[in-house]
Amino acid sequence: MTTPAVLLLAYGSPDSLDQVEAYYTDIRRGNPPTPELLAELTDRYRAIGGGSPLSRIVEDQRAALETELARRGRPIPVYAGMRHIAPRIAAVIERMADDGVTDAVAIPLAPQASMSVEGYRRAVDAACAALGDRAPRIAFVASWCREPAFIEGLAETTGEALARFPDPAAVRLMFTAHSLPQRVVDAGDVYPDELVATSRLVADALGREAYDFAYQSAGRTDEPWLGPEILAEIRRLAGDGATELVVSPVGFIADHLEVLYDIDIEAQGVAREVGIHLERPRMLDDDPHLVSALAGIVERTLPPTGAAFPAASAGR
């Protein structure tokens, strides 16, 4: 007899200022941020209210997905684990094993495949290896950037933002996503292609032929990161005569620092400086479109009730 479950995987973020240093130390593989960098990061979290809402949003997503699966006739538990803050992925997978879970679908809450998503896979594999025969079999979903309900949600929220302008058709539209080091793409990472796929599908759903694309939130390293960069692109658009712009961060699904600060404060500041009226769509968070997308993935990935994943599945 099998006991199925779902595991949502998220990056995690500090929900209070006193967690910022430990969080970034973990991201930096045990190297604490310099006092100057820590001060800057703490100021950014202070500017968005003293912490990120991401952990709360992930819990809302987890609960909403569990409810939706039950409504669809699959009343199974949904867990959520974080890479860089509690509850950690390894601890959550151990709890799943303690709860008797034998088979699970692991879904990173990042729609596009990338080296970052592979980091989730490594965390899952390491946790399962540590548990040995107790580990559940886990099917890992590496990409869901074309999921229809996800695209519908992005089109709806982006359309709402465009509708705030008197003439939506005349507004410039820019999609964005988190940047990655250029070396990753040079090594064959599919991330840019995944972003093109999502952006094109959303633009098509909106009936928009043309759109712009920029990367945001690049890391603070000396190596090149993917571009064009959002702030430079906003200035370029202003130079081209643009005065109205919607920035839709299709690489993110929830409110967090990279949205609430990098777009709502930093990009907005540059837009005002160059005379552009910038609007951002609401994030999907636990929107029914997103929950429906995740539920559809689970339904397609989980074996029929009572059946188990093949032995080759990750985790055992």
In this structure, how many other beta carbons lie within 10 angstroms of the beta carbon of residue 143?
A: 18
Tokens of 98: 């303690």
For residue 130, give every residue at least 6 positions away whose Cβ sits within 8 Å of its Cβ, in sequence order, or none: 90
Residues 120, 87 contacting (CB under 8 angstroms):
no
The pLDDT tens digits for 140-155 are 999 999 999 999 999 9
Residues 29, 219 contacting (CB under 8 angstroms):
no
pTM across the whole model: 0.95
Nearest Cα neighbor of 140 from 110, 120, 126 is 120
Residue 316: pLDDT over 90: no
Supply the mean pLDDT for the chain: 95
Rounded Cα–Cα distance for residues 238 and 25 (Å): 38
Rounded Cα–Cα distance for residues 107 and 6 (Å): 8
The pLDDT tens digits for 200-248 are 999 999 999 999 999 999 998 889 999 999 999 999 999 999 999 999 9
Nearest Cα neighbor of 66 from 56, 76, 80 is 76
Rounded Cα–Cα distance for residues 143 and 125 (Å): 17
Q: What pLDDT, on the 0 to 100 scale, is given for residue 312?
A: 44
Residue ranges covered by each domain of the chain? 4-144+287-301, 148-279
**How far are the Cα atoms of 93, 126, 254, 280 from residue 243, in angstroms, in the given order?**
49, 50, 27, 15
Q: Where would I find the H helices in the chain?
A: 20-27, 35-47, 54-71, 89-98, 115-131, 148-162, 182-186, 191-206, 230-239, 257-260, 268-273, 288-301
CATH class entry, domain 4-144+287-301: alpha beta
Residue 314: pLDDT over 60: no
Q: What pLDDT, on the 0 to 100 scale, is given for residue 310?
A: 63
Amino acid identity, position 25: T
- What CATH number was assigned to the domain covering residues 148-279? 3.40.50.1400
Rounded Cα–Cα distance for residues 110 and 12 (Å): 12
Length of the chain: 316
Asked if 4-144+287-301 and 148-279 have one fold, the answer is yes
